[in-house]
Amino acid sequence: MDDSVRKAVLAAVPSLRAFAISLCGNVDRADDLVQETLLRALANIDSFQPGTNMSAWLFTILRNHFRSEYRKRRREVEDGEGHYAETLKSQPDQIGQVEFREFREALAQLPADQREALVLVGASGFSYEEAAHICGCAVGTIKSRVNRARTRLAELMGIESAEEFGPDQQTRAVLASGE
């Protein structure tokens, strides 16, 4: 394997893991998914066109592999939140802990199509065009999935205006009453 290829693959790993976790909702399974993705990618490295986006290529393989192998198993392992909590030990100070947890729970409830579109565009930094390529659909489809994902997230979190991202006190009250 060319050293530059190896470096490019390695450089994509952190982001692949983050994407995989958002798909699987479980760190261990996500890491298995990444490993299988890397093995597939390296076995088919000849089909990678030099000069194109290595990261997008790997994301496509991971996403397709998840779709064909993992998704059907998803319901069997629905303890994603606990694993998330383990992985995410810290969080940015500007986001309240309760709100952050609510967000992750809401994200996990999104339909898979919407979640992957939102993550690819909103977190992985892909363009709508790249995300469409990765997901094998039209650009317009990605745009509408992202929009629906945002709307649904806000609904799930009970947010209609920015003010409702209240101080932690408020969100804590909501959470406490929900338990």
Partner 1 sequence: MNDRKPLGQQRTMETAAPNRNKKGNPKPAKLSRDVQARLGQQLRAMYDEVVNQGVPDRFSDLLNRINGGNKDKQ
Instruction: By CB under 8 A, name the binding residues for partner 1.
Output: 1, 3, 6, 9-10, 13-15, 17-18, 21-22, 31, 34-35, 38-39, 42, 87-88, 90-92, 94-95, 99-100, 102-105, 107, 109, 118-119, 122-124, 147-148, 150-151, 153-156, 158-165, 170, 173-174, 177-178
Residue 132 or 157: the one with the smaller Cβ distance to partner 1 is: 157
Residue 9 or residue 131: which is nearer to partner 1 going by CB? 9
Q: Least CB distance from residue 140 to partner 1, whole Å?
A: 16
Q: What is the DSSP secondary structure assignment for residue 154, as one 8-state letter? A: H
Cβ at position 5, least distance to partner 1 in Å:
10
Contacts 24+ apart (CB under 8 A), 142-146: 142/117, 145/113, 145/114, 145/117, 145/118, 146/114, 146/117, 146/118, 146/121, 146/122
Which H or E element spans position 15? Answer: helix 3-24
CB of 113 to partner 1, least distance (A): 16
Q: Where are the beta strands (DSSP E) in 81-175?
A: none
Whole-number Å distance between alpha carbons of 43 and 163: 51
Which lies closer to partner 1 via its Cβ, residue 72 or residue 91? 91
